[in-house]
């Protein structure tokens, strides 16, 4: 054998030993999973000896939670417009303009009631702060009411598109941060379409808690209570409205919106009805939801938080809040101006509590109490709430479109059946190759074994996930691997019929078959890349192993088998090729 082929032989040998070294943690992990035992943390010496971790198993193999959630882009645009209008009002106040900004009935349109003499100043404010956001009609004023002018503001299409795009990105990042803080390893989060997020959480043991952490918007608002309607009267009005409009009992977002729409003519325009929740101290389930009238405009929001953490007082956990400079200033001003009145603490559209402001709070700190219950349950609730507030509120609500919980027993069965299918496919292919191509078939089977080892090693090294469709991709790769050898072997048979020597048969077989092998694998590789780029879930799993398999197939079918032939031709000096 020439020195060139010796070098290739030692490269193959080195790659093989390195691949086996990488796969040792996965072999131990697979054995535990097949037997149904939980994989314990490896000993320290073991983790130091093997730098690689076990192969990531996909949701269908490991068990866990699969979620598809839709982002409410309509709500996100409305929230963003409300913030813009709040900023606009602040600019008016700084300029001494007594303008009234009316909260929009339509998501992206608002009215501004402006004194006639202040239109030029208004235009300057629009130019300075909102020129790239708000669209003002050329034919303003639209109408004149007494000594005031009504000007309509509308969000530009470009800004609305930007808000929607950023909302989905922020939602994806917020969900990812919450899952990371919860401690779920190997979670997969990706976008699907314009407003959908797909979340895969393998190996979790409390899916309901994780769903609650993911879904909760985490939107914290401090709103003043409106006392213009007695609470007893408000309860009666809401009850009558439910009966008249056939709105069922409950406090879900959709129900609250219907109630406020029905009460539009009976409550102040700048107020809305929300529900103050009362929970059972033991089960923490909501046992009562009492309507309360609050101002629509939030005085302070979670965006102004600097930090949130769990505190304990009198053996009762609570959530401590501290605001940034803007939030502390706003909080101080509103508490100073409303001593003796109630301020509602609103989380995700529901009132957590509504305490009376006893004195101005000027230090920018507040706290959320969690009612009564066992210490552990309150501590768990406080930790979850702190996590939500630290990571920031979701920019919009999430609605679960699809939820699938996969049990670990199904995962074990999937692993076992997947490995069985892989072994059966390997056995059938091996028998066929030996029966049809004799000693050359054995050489092809050896290359196939190298191929499988390399595929799993690459999966482990790059921390790619192995799924059931991924196993199907490996089985397909095995067929493609021997297909490349078959093209070579058939070409070698043709050369053998011409009576050529063994050396010429091998060289001609590989030389003339190379273009066909490269073309077929290249087109399949392109297909795999497209599937991986635009596919989701199972399709990505299939595409991953397919792409890896094509790369390893090209190497084993062309290099490994060629080294084997060269060994027998140059080292053993065989006269005939068994094919």
Per-residue pLDDT, 105: 61
Distance of alpha carbon 348 from alpha carbon 397, whole angstroms: 9
User: 125 with 153: CB under 8 angstroms?
Assistant: no
What 3-state class would DSSP assign to 132? Answer: coil
Among 34-43, 193-202, 378-387, 396-405, which stretch is predicted with the lowest mean pLDDT? 34-43
Give a three-class secondary structure readout of 387-419. Answer: HHHHHCCCCCCEEEEEEEEECHHHHHHHHHHHH
Which residue, of 374, 405, 436, is where some domain finishes? 405
Given this model, what pLDDT does residue 151 score?
Answer: 73
CB 310 within 8 A of CB 383: yes
Report yes or no on whether pTM surpasses 0.85. no
90 compared with 382, residue with greater pLDDT: 382
Q: How far is 522 from 421, CA to CA, in rounded Å?
A: 27
Residues 419 and 373 occupy one common structural domain: no
Span of 121-130, 232-241, 454-463, 477-486 with lowest mean pLDDT: 121-130
Show the tokens assigned to 191: 């976008």
Instruction: Note the pLDDT of residue 219.
Output: 73
pLDDT at 456 over 80: yes
Whether 187 has a pLDDT exceeding 90, the answer reads no
CA distance 409 to 574: 53
How do strand 305-313 and strand 271-279 relate by DSSP bridges?
unpaired
Average pLDDT estimate for 366-377: 74
Q: Is the pLDDT of residue 10 over 70?
A: yes
Identify the domain containing residue 520 by its residue range: 3-63+409-571
pLDDT greater at residue 282 or residue 85: 85
* Residue 90 confidence (pLDDT) above 80: no
Residues 292 and 364 in one domain: yes
Mean pLDDT, range 87-98, rounded to an integer:
72
426 in the same domain as 394 = no
Q: Is the pLDDT of residue 34 over 50?
A: no
Strand-strand pairing, 316-323 and 343-347: unpaired
How confident is the model over 128-157, as a mean pLDDT?
61
- The answer to whether residue 171 sits within a structural domain is no
CATH number (domain holding residue 382): 3.30.1360.200
* H helix or E strand, kind and range, residue 293: strand 286-295
Question: How far is it between the farthest Cα atoms of the chain?
Answer: 110
Name the residue with higher pLDDT: 383 or 52: 383
Give the pLDDT of residue 132. 60
Tell me what the pLDDT averaged over the chain comes to. 79
- The token pair at 164 is 């929607």
Say what the alpha-carbon torsion angle 248, 250, 255, 260 is, to the nearest 10 degrees: 100
pLDDT of residue 138 exceeding 50: no
| Assigned token pair, 476 | 């397909």
Mean pLDDT of 148-168: 79
- Same domain assignment for residues 234 and 123: no
Is residue 222 located within the same domain as residue 147? no
Confidence at residue 61, expressed as pLDDT on a 0 to 100 scale: 74
Predicted confidence at residue 292, as pLDDT, reads 93
Lowest mean pLDDT among 117-131, 428-442, 476-490, 545-559: 117-131
Whether 286 and 375 share a structural domain: yes
If you average pLDDT over residues 517-530, what whole number do you get?
A: 89
Q: Which residue has the higher pLDDT, 194 or 284?
A: 194
- Residue 24 belongs to a domain: yes
In the prediction, which pLDDT does 173 show? Answer: 77
The pLDDT tens digits for 330-370 are: 888 888 888 889 888 887 788 887 888 888 888 888 777 77
Determine the pLDDT at residue 353.
Answer: 79
For the chain, the 3-state helix, strand and coil shares in percent, each to the nearest 5, are: 55, 20, 25
Which of 455, 467, 471, 434 minimizes the C-alpha distance to 555? 455
Instruction: Write the CATH number for 104.
Output: 3.30.70
H-run or E-run covering 453: helix 408-461
Residue 116 has pLDDT above 70, yes or no: no
**Residue 563: strand pairing partners:** none
**How large is the average pLDDT for residues 469-497?**
86
459 or 174: which leads in pLDDT: 459
What number of other Cβ atoms are within 10 A of residue 202's Cβ?
24
Report which of 436, 531, 530 is spatially closest to residue 490, judged by C-alpha positions.
436
More reliable by pLDDT, 64 or 339: 339
Residue 38's pLDDT is what?
A: 44
Same domain, 269 and 383: yes
Looking at 379, 405, 431, the residue that finishes a domain is: 405
Q: What's the 3-state SS for 153-167?
A: EEECHHHHHHHHHHH
Mean pLDDT of 479-504: 86
What's the DSSP call for residue 247? P
The domain spanning residue 465 has which CATH number?
A: 1.20.1640.10
Question: Residue 37: what pLDDT?
Answer: 46
Out of 227-231, 255-259, 264-268, 343-347, least confident range: 343-347
pLDDT score recorded for residue 293: 94
Residue 155 lies in a domain: yes
| Sheet containing strand 188-192, strands side by side | 188-192, 196-202, 64-71, 398-406
Please indicate, yes or no, whether residues 229 and 284 belong to a single structural domain of this protein: yes
pLDDT of residue 294: 94
Last residue of a domain, one of 135, 160, 185: 160
Residue 119 above 70 pLDDT?
no
Domains in the chain: how many in total? 3
Confirm whether 210 is domain-assigned. Answer: no
* Whether 467 contacts 58, CB under 8 Å: yes
547 compared with 331, residue with greater pLDDT: 547
Query: Is the pLDDT score of 409 beyond 60?
Result: no
Same-domain pairing of 43 and 136: no
pLDDT the model gives residue 321 = 81
**pLDDT confidence bin for 126, thresholds 50/70/90:** low
Same domain assignment for residues 326 and 234: yes
Q: So what's the pLDDT on residue 274? A: 94
Work out the percent of the chain whose per-residue pLDDT is above 90: 9
Question: Is residue 41 scored above 50 in pLDDT?
Answer: no
- Assess whether 456 and 528 both reside in one domain: yes
Cis peptide before 141 (omega within 30 of 0): yes
The larger pLDDT score, comparing residue 138 to residue 435, is at 435
Instruction: Label residue 408 exposed, middle or buried (CB < 10 Å: 0-12, 13-18, 19+).
Output: middle
Residues 78 and 50 in one domain: no
Residue 168 resides in a domain: no
pLDDT at 480 over 60: yes
Is the pLDDT confidence value at 46 over 80? no
Instruction: Check residue 152 and give its pLDDT.
Output: 74
183 assigned to some structural domain: no
Give the pLDDT confidence score for residue 367 in this predicted structure. Answer: 77
Beta carbons within 8 Å of 272's beta carbon, 6+ residues apart: 260, 293, 294, 295, 296
What is the pLDDT, as a whole number, of residue 188? 76
517/483 Cα distance (integer angstroms) = 9
Residue 125: pLDDT band (50, 70, 90) is: low
Stronger pLDDT, 470 or 272, i.e. the higher one: 272
What confidence score (pLDDT) does residue 72 get?
86
- Position 206 in a domain: no
């Amino acid at each position: 054998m020439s020195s060139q082929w010796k070098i290739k032989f030692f490269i193959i040998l080195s790659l093989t030993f390195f691949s086996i070294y990488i796969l040792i943690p996965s072999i131990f992990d697979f054995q535990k999973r097949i037997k149904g035992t939980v994989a314990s943390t490896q000993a320290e010496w073991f983790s130091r000896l093997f730098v690689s971790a076990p192969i990531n198993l996909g949701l269908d193999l490991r068990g866990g939670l699969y979620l598809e959630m839709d982002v409410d882009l309509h709500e996100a645009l409305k929230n963003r417009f409300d913030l813009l209008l709040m900023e606009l009002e602040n600019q008016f106040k700084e300029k001494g303009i007594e303008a009234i900004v009316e909260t929009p009935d339509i998501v992206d349109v608002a009215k501004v009631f402006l004194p006639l003499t202040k239109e030029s100043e208004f235009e300057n404010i629009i130019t300075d702060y909102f020129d790239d956001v708000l669209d003002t009609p050329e034919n303003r004023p639209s109408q004149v009411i007494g000594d005031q002018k009504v000007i309509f503001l509308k969000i530009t299409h470009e800004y609305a598109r930007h808000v929607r795009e950023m909302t989905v990105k922020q939602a994806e990042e917020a969900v990812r941060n919450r899952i990371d803080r919860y401690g779920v390893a190997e979670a997969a989060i990706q976008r699907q379409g314009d407003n959908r997020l797909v979340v895969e959480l393998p190996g979790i043991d409390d899916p309901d808690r994780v769903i609650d952490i993911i879904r909760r918007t985490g939107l914290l608002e401090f709103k003043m209570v409106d006392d213009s309607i007695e609470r007893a009267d408000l309860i009666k009005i809401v009850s009558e409205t439910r009966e008249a409009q056939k709105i069922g009992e409950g406090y879900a977002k959709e129900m609250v919106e219907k109630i406020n729409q029905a009460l539009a003519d009976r409550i102040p325009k700048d107020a809305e009805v929300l529900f103050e929740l009362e929970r059972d101290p033991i089960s923490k389930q909501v046992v009562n939801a009492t309507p309360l009238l609050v101002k629509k405009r939030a005085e302070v929001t979670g965006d102004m938080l600097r930090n949130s953490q769990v505190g304990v007082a009198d053996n009762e956990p609570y959530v401590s809040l501290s605001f940034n400079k803007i939030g502390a200033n706003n909080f101080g001003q509103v508490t100073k101006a409303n001593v003796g009145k109630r301020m509602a603490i609103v989380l995700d559209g529901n009132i957590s509590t509504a305490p009376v402001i006893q004195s101005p709070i000027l230090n920018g700190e507040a706290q959320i109490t969690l009612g009564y219950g066992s210490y552990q349950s309150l501590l768990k609730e406080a930790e979850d709430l702190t996590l939500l507030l630290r990571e920031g509120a979701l920019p919009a609500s999430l609605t679960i479109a699809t939820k699938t919980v996969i049990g670990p027993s199904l995962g074990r069965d999937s692993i076992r059946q997947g490995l069985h299918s892989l072994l059966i496919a390997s056995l059938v292919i091996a028998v066929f190759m030996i029966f049809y191509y004799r000693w050359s078939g054995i050489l092809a089977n050896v290359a196939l074994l190298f191929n499988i080892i390399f595929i799993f090693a690459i999966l482990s090294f790059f921390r790619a996930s192995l799924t059931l469709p991924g196993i199907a991709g490996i089985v397909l790769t095995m067929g493609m691997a021997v297909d490349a050898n078959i093209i070579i072997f058939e070409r070698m048979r043709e050369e053998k019929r011409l009576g050529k020597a063994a050396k010429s048969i091998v060289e001609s077989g590989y030389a003339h078959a190379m273009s066909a092998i490269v073309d077929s694998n290249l087109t399949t590789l392109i297909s795999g890349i497209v599937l991986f780029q635009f596919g989701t879930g199972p399709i990505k799993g299939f595409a991953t192993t397919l792409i890896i398999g094509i790369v390893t197939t090209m190497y084993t079918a062309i290099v490994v088998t060629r080294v084997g032939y060269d060994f027998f031709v140059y080292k053993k000096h065989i006269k005939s090729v068994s094919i």
